[in-house]
Chains A and B, each alone.
Chain A
Amino acid sequence: MSFPWANHYTPKAPLMQWIDERLPLPRLVYNAVGAGYPVPRNLNYFWNFGVLSGLALMIQIVTGIVMAMHYGANELVAFGTVEHVMRDVNGGWLMRYAHANGASFFFIVVYLHIFRGLYYSSYKAPREMVWLLGLIIFLLMMATAFMGYVLPWGQMSYWGAKVITGLFGAIPVVGEPIQTWLLGGFAPGNAALNRFFSLHYLLPFVIAGVIILHIWALHIPGSSNPTGVEVKGPQDTVPFHPYYTAKDGFGAGIFFILFAIAVYFGPNFLGHPDNYIEANPLSTPAHIVPEWYFWPFYAILRAFTFDFFFIPAKLLGVLAMFASILLLFFLPWLDTSPVRSGNYRPLFRKFFWILVLDVLVLGYCGGAPAEEPFVMISQVAAAYYFAHFLIILPLIAAFEKPLPLPGSITEAVLAKHGEAAE
């Protein structure tokens, strides 16, 4: 529900009125992403990434549906049909490069969206549900991306599938039956390829559904803003359309320029050459790595090289990797500071940037070979990652003295404007 001063939908064209009276869909769109949704007037460009994530999902769905018209999910032909898309299908190379790089760009904008949420503490009350639904979208994205990467049936596809499903095999007692059940065999094969294709086609639409819930939950309290101070009156907001449709449109333009550069000038820059070799169960690539967007989690997985009490190292790594994401579900209750924005939290801000650095280091180690010094660095970085959320954040909330908050969004905007004029 929106603020009382939100614009009301009044259909202008008779056709729209006719539709609105029978199915208030135009009204729904107007109130969700039109002039009927009042938004804080001070959003910066970091608030573009939600819309850009939705855009990236649309690119994936469109290019994916098109490619599915030419792909065969069978271990005998899968690799060949992907090459068929690349060489024979009209414009197929463009569809596939857009899809492969689109996945990377999807993760880039989502990671920026998540770190925006972390810096401005967008997860805090009353927006916990927005954060939780966002994490569910993130998990679904990871599952979708992993299964999509298996479909070309190259060496990295095959061995990636083997290593990732092998993670479940580390669970005591039930692990191996689960692994066999997931794969439909004892190693990745036709059964696995087929079900991954089926689910890879399904999950994006599930993601789209959860995105609708994510936006719905957001629109109950309304968007957060860089000051973290709640909206107090009509002077604090502007209508979503045209103000933020224009701002998001500008962001989308920049996004498309960078996307086009990647697709046309470096389509394989983020890929792995081993995936242009057909899957071979009898020969392992020397260096198995997942796609770059999984590297931080892969580093946490591999950081555990020692047994702890009776828990074997392999299982510890698996538990830590899943815990690193599940931990984020508790974040709204771990960070107890009443101040949202990092702009007014000097100590929090420093540790936020250390966390960013930490995740980048983990990412680098995840892509590097599993040897020293990377193993040791991953161990330290993984330990810090958990310490940040479990120890540092609650401590900062207890001891930090935040800077004085502005009285309202408008006050903050005018103060900033005044400074700029002087």
Chain B
Amino acid sequence: MATLENTADQAISADGGGVRRRDFINIAAVSFAGVGGVVAVLPLVNQMNPSADVLAMASTEVDLSGIKPGQAIKTTYRSQPLFVRHLTPEEIAKADAADVASLRDPQTLDQRTIAGKKEWLVTMGVCTHLGCVPLGAGEGENKGEFGGYFCPCHGSHYDTAGRIRKGPAPKNLEVPPVTFTSDTAILVG
């Protein structure tokens, strides 16, 4: 407040240093404008995030009834390839037989599937190396040395649980969130 005393202080501090009323107004005004500027930028940054229609497509329903044991289908989840595979008992046995501790990304088949629905392996069809689409879901495609998936780009081999076994990829094929909506249908995402 610009009382007489304050004005006197101001006169003293003007030559002697210290905080002047004008400094305070200056800092307050610049801070206010600065915070306002940042707040105005937020929506400009946020508009680049996925829009509502993209997010609305962020889950996928898959009908499992047509997939026989040993078969797999390719579909899309979040506009990326998704592999849904109906494992045969032999494939499950093979996946369980692997020594988990020796794996690059140690996980068991049980950890990668839904309890009681162990025969349904749902993974992203995106190689964890550089993002190529592995082979092995289609009829007659190269399934690699471990009978799962094989990425032709740089030679990563995945086993029947979609785990990385050989080649440059660092991680197992990603398992998206899966829920069974009925015995023969799943919701991914």
Contacts and interface: CB of A to CB of B under 8 A. Distances in A.
Contact of B170 (A159, A180, A282, A312): A312
Nearest to A190: B54
Contacts of A189: 54, 79
B163 to A, nearest CB: 17
A29 interface: no
A94 interface: no
Contacts of B147: none
Give 7 closest A-B pairs by Cβ, nearest first: A186-B78, A284-B132, A187-B79, A284-B133, A185-B54, A187-B80, A185-B50
Contacts of B76: 281-282
B53 to A, nearest CB: 9
B80 A163 contact: no
Nearest to A314: B170
Interface in A273-299: 281-284, 286-288
Nearest to B81: A282
A154 to B, nearest CB: 16
Nearest to A307: B170
Which one of A181, A191, A284, A370 has the highest number of Cβ atoms from chain B below 10 Å of its Cβ?
A: A284
A163 B79 contact: no
B113 to A, nearest CB: 23
A228 B175 CA distance: 61
A179 B136 CA distance: 28
Nearest to A166: B131
Contact-residue size bin, chain B (C-beta under 8 Å from the other chain):
20 to 34
Interface string A72-98: 000000000000000000000000000
Task: Say whether chain A's binding surface is mostly helix, strand, loop, or mixed.
Answer: loop
A184 B54 contact: yes
Given A185-B78, A189-B54, 7 more contacts: A163-B131, A180-B49, A191-B54, A195-B48, A281-B79, A282-B125, A288-B153
Contacts of A191: 48, 50-51, 54
Contacts of B48: 181-182, 184, 191, 195
A314 B49 CA distance: 24
Nearest to B152: A286
B51 A313 contact: no
Contact of A186 (B50, B125, B133, B154): B50
13 contacts: A159-B131, A185-B54, A186-B80, A187-B80, A189-B54, A189-B79, A281-B81, A282-B76, A287-B153, A288-B153, A370-B154, A370-B168, A371-B154
Interface string B14-52: 000000000000000000000000000000010011110
